[in-house]
Structure 1
Amino acid sequence: MTGALWLIATICFVLAIYPVTLYPLTLSFARKRIPNRTSPVDPRPTLAICMSAYMEERTIVSKIESLLAMAKLYGPARIYVYVDGSSDRTAELLESYRDRIELVVSEARSGKTAGLNRLVELSTEEMLTFTDANVNAPPDSLVTLLQRFTDPMVAAVSARLIFANNSESGTSGSTALYWDMEETVKRMESDTIGLVGVDGALFMIRRSAYVAAPNELIDDLYVSLMVTLNGGLVVSEGSVLVEERNASRWQEEFQRKRRIACQAINVHRTLWPRLRKLPTGQLYGYLAHRVLKWIAPFNIALSALLFWVGFALWVGFAPAMSLVMAGLAIVLALSAAGLRYARGVLSAVTSLIGVGLGVLDSVALGRTYTTWTPAPSIRV
């Protein structure tokens, strides 16, 4: 009985860590490699740079100045900004840029996706770029991303995201460590089967490949998955490093993970009838990288429970419970004493709980998180 429980627990644990361990290992054995074709594009196609902003008065001026520098270096580019019902000075600060950008200010909140959809409808350019208001990018980012479109199969290109405040807290450190693993997986994915979904920090897409997301769904995952579903190739350009802050408080990271997981599952539920018909390699990538990642909290919880029950059957329930309580007390004590690694462990656990609750939000409650408030520590 104990052996059977431990075997099932081991399987659950392996499935939980599969997306960042065995999955990239399997990609390393892939025979097919996507060539990294890059060359200067002349003349450059027209480009619309689209951004939705909410409560960004601390960063909006520096962000717009950065986008203006990027657009100037690119050439035929126009900046489109949507302000989503901000009650701070975001819209006010942008007024002085009306002669250089297309500015759309909404008095009511509609959500990021609705705002970006309005900007795309307003624009006419051949290429589209999406970025977040809190992301810092080098001036030549757009020029470098465009060079990947030399390959006619490439329909969308994503930059590589790194976090600027890794050492600020246990929470920011554990999140950055996880994200470094994610970016490693993405690079391998990009070189073999193509990216299965992108994040919205900075990515460029052909207008002909763009399919607008429903307003209640998150735009970056939906748009990039639709590119794949329609036969286009999504790749990562690792030489373009963009930077942002991540949440430094565990409460903020918990809420962020919950929201992101819920939004991701909503996209999955909407597109699954088409996703399940993907070619074998891409379907494997989607299931191994995305789906297993979203259900990892449940696999970890089941694995821990089965390991504990098996251990309790072996040594007795009282000693097994005492061991668990002692371990928990040690981690809490070390965290209270300010040990960063202990706080990182607690933050990782709360993040996993957030992901699990986000999945349940989508499946059981039908939540959408169409609008949300950014974590304060991200906007410092």
Structure 2
Amino acid sequence: MTNLLLALVLLASLIAVAWPFLFYPLILRLLPTRAETPVVGPVPSASLLFCAYNEAAAMPEKLANLAMLKARHPTLEILAFDDGSSDDTAALIAAQGDLVTLLRGPGRSGKAHGMKLLAARARGDILIFTDANVLLDPDAIDNLLARYADPAVGGVLGSLHYLGEGDSATAAVGSLYWRIEERLKDEESRTGNVLGADGSIFSIRRSLYPEFPDSVLDDLTVSMAVVFAGKRLVKAKDVIARERLVTGRKDEYRRKVRIAARAWHTHRHLRPQLRRMAAIDRFKYASRKIVRWFGGLFILTGAIAAGVLALRLSPMLYMTGAIGIALLAWIGLRSRGGPLAALVDILIAYAATLQGVLKAMSGRTVTTWNPAKSR
């Protein structure tokens, strides 16, 4: 392999890693704005749904938040699914029977299964999905339902604001990543459709709720059904949800492996419909999903190309670089903050995502979840 070819492989790897965070946002900014066209009509009814497993610590604050939302919206239906919790989660929810209707699972069956049961039970025109540890701002429901005044809008995402950014390097990296993610969704929404939601806060018209297996990510599957139906999936900056960041590396690693594995299964399940999307939506999906899922592979390929190139140019340069990188990685792993710790956490996140994708490609999946202990 010639030095030129090695340099080209290194350059291509760097571009691929930077694509979702640098080149893709720049391209989005060049696209025209697609305006919404609201019409005068009644405010639709809504059902708020969430699943919980061993969230007893978060339940008092969650239930107080729901009571506040219910006071502002007396007709809001609130449904919860307990996935066989071994703590007091179900008891705490059941004690608020006038506020929340509780469905109990037979054991560990997973969030996707629970959400399907809740959606089948819900009566609201709009289904609002959130997580057990997420709190909504007082105006969130008002602002969310207002976007459905446009009949072309089939789904609305909210904005997630993380708490605890300074608690650890892992939390700081997670917060930075999510701020970038939020800006990308803002630009995608401005130019047409957001390509997928996360489970913290999003909504769809009940008539668009799809059928799907328990092995997929329900939030991605359900939100993409809006795009497949020819409706708009948009993001509302003023629909604000708040969640505490994961601060432990092990917790975050396991979380990313689980999400990536289920995301790949979701991709395979949705592939026939993805191929029928408009060209601009296929471009968005590939840029924000597929390229990012394989970011760890691009980093590994680039590192190998850089190492071989350095070795061909000068063995001393190769040895010096290898020792320097190993030393910086050691310092970063032992640090709780600072740029080196942040860099290590970024690399760990890429490794976890790649492991999850490879796990799913081998046929394995994850249907259940556990709350992070370091939240």
> TM-score, normalised to structure 2's length?
0.95
Map of 1:217 onto structure 2: 216
Residues 127 and 337 of structure 1: CA distance in aligned 2, closer, same or farther (over 3 Å) = closer
1:37 shift after superposition: 5.2
1:351 shift after superposition: 1.1
1:60 shift after superposition: 1.1
1:335 shift after superposition: 4.8
Map of 1:6 onto structure 2: 7
* Equivalent-residue separation in structure 2 for 1:361 and 1:333 (angstroms): 30
Q: Is the 8 A contact 2:163 2:242 kept in 1?
A: yes
1:254-296 deviations in whole A, cap 9, x for unaligned? 1111111111111101111220121111111111111111111
Letter of the 1:30 counterpart: L
Q: Flag as ranges the 4+ runs of structure 1 deviating above 3 A.
A: 36-39
* Equivalent-residue separation in structure 1 for 2:151 and 2:68 (angstroms): 28
* Equivalent-residue separation in structure 2 for 1:37 and 1:328 (angstroms): 56
Letter of the 2:177 counterpart: Y
Q: More displaced, 144-153 or 66-75?
A: 66-75
Matched position secondary structure for 1:239: strand
Q: Is the 8 A contact 2:49 2:80 kept in 1?
A: yes
* Equivalent-residue separation in structure 2 for 1:282 and 1:322 (angstroms): 45
1:42 shift after superposition: 6.1
1:111 shift after superposition: 0.5
Map of 1:370 onto structure 2: 367
Matched position secondary structure for 1:194: coil
Map of 1:25 onto structure 2: 26
Matched position secondary structure for 1:167: helix
Within a 5 Å distance, the mapping from 1:172-211 to structure 2 comes to 172-211=171-210
Map of 1:351 onto structure 2: 349
Q: Is the 8 A contact 1:134 1:244 kept in 2?
A: yes
Q: Is the 8 A contact 2:168 2:337 kept in 1?
A: no
Residues 255 and 277 of structure 1: CA distance in aligned 2, closer, same or farther (over 3 Å) = same
Letter of the 2:339 counterpart: Y
Letter of the 1:69 counterpart: M
Matched position secondary structure for 1:162: strand
* Equivalent-residue separation in structure 2 for 1:195 and 1:284 (angstroms): 12
Among 359, 362, 369, the alignment partner of 1:361 is 359
Q: Is the 8 A contact 2:192 2:234 kept in 1?
A: no
Letter of the 2:26 counterpart: L
1:206-254 deviations in whole A, cap 9, x for unaligned? 1112214322211100011121112111010012221111211111111
Map of 2:290 onto structure 1: 291
Map of 1:258 onto structure 2: 257
In the alignment, does 2:121 pair up with 1:87? no
1:334 shift after superposition: 5.4
Q: More displaced, 118-127 or 284-293?
A: 118-127
Q: Point out where structure 1 has 5 or more consecutive residues left out of the alignment.
A: none
> TM-score, normalised to structure 1's length?
0.94
1:135-173 deviations in whole A, cap 9, x for unaligned? 111122111001111111110001111210111101110
Residues 332 and 339 of structure 1: CA distance in aligned 2, closer, same or farther (over 3 Å) = farther
Letter of the 2:242 counterpart: E
Letter of the 2:128 counterpart: T
Within a 5 Å distance, the mapping from 1:114-133 to structure 2 comes to 114-133=113-132
Letter of the 1:35 counterpart: A
Within a 5 Å distance, the mapping from 1:225-374 to structure 2 comes to 225-316=224-315, 318-333=316-331, 335-336=333-334, 338-364=336-362, 366-374=363-371
Within a 5 Å distance, the mapping from 1:46-65 to structure 2 comes to 46-65=45-64
Residues 189 and 274 of structure 1: CA distance in aligned 2, closer, same or farther (over 3 Å) = same
* Equivalent-residue separation in structure 2 for 1:250 and 1:337 (angstroms): 12
Map of 2:34 onto structure 1: 34
1:106 shift after superposition: 2.2
Q: Is the 8 A contact 2:331 2:341 kept in 1?
A: no
Q: Is the 8 A contact 1:169 1:340 kept in 2?
A: no
Letter of the 2:345 counterpart: S
**How many corresponding residue pairs?**
374
Q: Is the 8 A contact 2:20 2:288 kept in 1?
A: yes
1:38 shift after superposition: 6.1
